[in-house]
Chains A and B, each alone.
Chain A
């Protein structure tokens, strides 16, 4: 059938590939679920490991810290990156190469080097943060994490911005009387929304998966705590790991549902769009490197 040849591989092949990858990804998760519900001493099943996630104060506060870190990192990353990228595209396009280089730089620097390099700076960060009562808080890691997520977030935002005619849209908004803030919030952001979601999700994934820097700098984030527990209590540590993975998965689902609904709902009503439209920008999501997962 023509429809089949046009759409690529045979359905059977597609389904078997899907099943294969499904097994590949689900097996470790199911194994973790299985292990974390075992009663290692008496045999049988127990939910104790999962209860520990909330009953173990140290673990619970580590979870809160990591969620807080993810939130602050996303907010700060967006505040820094979105206006800067818009500005560079509109006003100083010659600086784009330099900016891209700077944003991708963290990828090439090993975590250890970052820690050693930032140690001196961080004495000052903690010194200033102590004035607002956050001197010893692990939330201070936000600043390192913003740097760490730059390469991934930059890519996601960049492809979303490339998909729209940023210059014409913002000039149109300006000529209609919009200030720069209004132009960014009401015109640019809604049109790069998918890129903002991808950038945020990637940032969350990186933050929830980061171990090396937090551990080396002596902050107790979720990952550091999971490793610590893992030394004494295997099932709880695995339960916590699985919880993080599921949380990431749920976040992804929520964000993509929310993102799909927020953008140009009407455009999908009419499948035959007569005009050359701005390409719907479901930007390719670069995968964060896995070397800093616990």
Chain B
């Protein structure tokens, strides 16, 4: 996976969102959000619903206006520029193809508005459709395409105008799981191909980790942490991020002098120093393993996930932990096992902060 920006064939533009605030009545949807996108970079805004990620994207698109703050693209201030003058390509969560036009006319629509002559825009639209693999469906209407195909056409339509920025507003959430994975890989391929700076909004952490150069995890109108997928997963800066990105066990523990004491094991603490006291430690399932001795537990259930196996075990205090391990081990329900915590640094939050679910 890439940790740096991959340059595309065409240079994208840098995007600068500075101190964006959006207030709806008494609700602060965005609270001083600042975000920088490198030219050609794909950044995911990831967060639970209502965290402000879509609001941020809509403000960048010009479809919503910030209460305060500025939007700059390629060094130009676009804060008060109307949406139709911003030159951004957008793919929406809802199917957005114009139902009265053919697929080809849909893709050529933006070019037509830019005064490109008919022959030229047909060629260009055809090329874009080939790029997303729908060259043979040019003369069809949106109602004759599947959901995944419609979103691909929407992508081709957004890219046909050679936008300064590509905006993807949960483009995959209306699709079924298999198509979703295919299309997200395809979006990434096309994006690398054209090199357009891209902001991708999603609530699906797997999707974000898979496609993004960098992921910004949002919470309550601001960015909690931004970094490469690896950074977010291995070094979450807060309990919120650790909890939201990837699977996590919540284990009661005690923080003492920068290390967390959990069920007899001492694990180093990630992130900023915290005051000593009772904490909830957040431990990834892959950082717990079976051992010949150690913490005693009983197997509750075990599921085969292809390359790994994930087993639920119950401890003496009745709490349940998830353990990820090699498929060669076959724990059976009711088996007595022993657990050991690998000495990876972990996140922790002061105890009642995260209610157990």
Contact = CB atoms under 8 A, between A and B. Distances in A.
Interface of A: 164-165, 168-169, 171-179, 182, 186-187, 190-191, 193, 263-264, 266-267, 270, 273-278
A190 B100 CA distance: 7
B83 A266 contact: no
12 contacts: A165-B96, A168-B94, A172-B97, A173-B98, A174-B84, A191-B100, A264-B100, A266-B102, A266-B140, A266-B141, A274-B144, A275-B145
Contact of A176 (B82, B110, B147): B110
Contact of B92 (A171, A177, A264, A267): A171
Given A173-B109, A177-B85, 10 more contacts: A164-B99, A171-B90, A171-B96, A175-B89, A191-B100, A266-B140, A273-B144, A275-B147, A276-B95, A278-B99
B178 interface: no
> Top 7 A-B pairs ranked by shortest CB distance?
A277-B143, A176-B110, A172-B96, A175-B90, A190-B100, A174-B83, A168-B94
Contact of B63 (A175, A186, A187, A274): A175
A177 B94 CA distance: 19
Interface in B62-101: 62-63, 82-90, 92, 94-100
B147 A174 contact: no
A224 B323 CA distance: 88
Nearest to A263: B100
Interface in B207-255: none
B147 A177 contact: no
Contacts of A276: 95, 147
Contacts of A190: 98, 100
A163 to B, nearest CB: 10
A75 B149 CA distance: 39
A264 B96 contact: no
Which one of A171, A263, A267 has the greatest number of beta carbons of chain B within 10 Å? A171
Contact of B113 (A171, A178, A266, A270): A178
A274 B113 CA distance: 30
A57 to B, nearest CB: 46
Interface in B165-179: 167
B137 to A, nearest CB: 11
Interface residues of B, number: 41
A274 B145 contact: yes
Contacts of B13: none
Given A171-B83, A175-B61, A175-B84, A277 B99 contact: yes
B161 interface: yes
B95 to A, nearest CB: 7
Contacts of A267: 99, 141, 143-144
Nearest to A165: B94
B84 to A, nearest CB: 5
Contacts of B145: 274-275
Contacts of A182: 113
Contact of A275 (B100, B150, B154): B150
A270 B139 CA distance: 12
B281 to A, nearest CB: 44
B146 interface: yes
Contacts of A274: 144-146
B125 to A, nearest CB: 12
Contacts of A173: 98, 109
A187 B98 contact: yes
Contacts of A172: 90, 92, 96-98, 154, 157
Contacts of A168: 92, 94-96
A267 B147 CA distance: 16
B139 A177 contact: no
B142 interface: yes
Contacts of B157: 172, 176
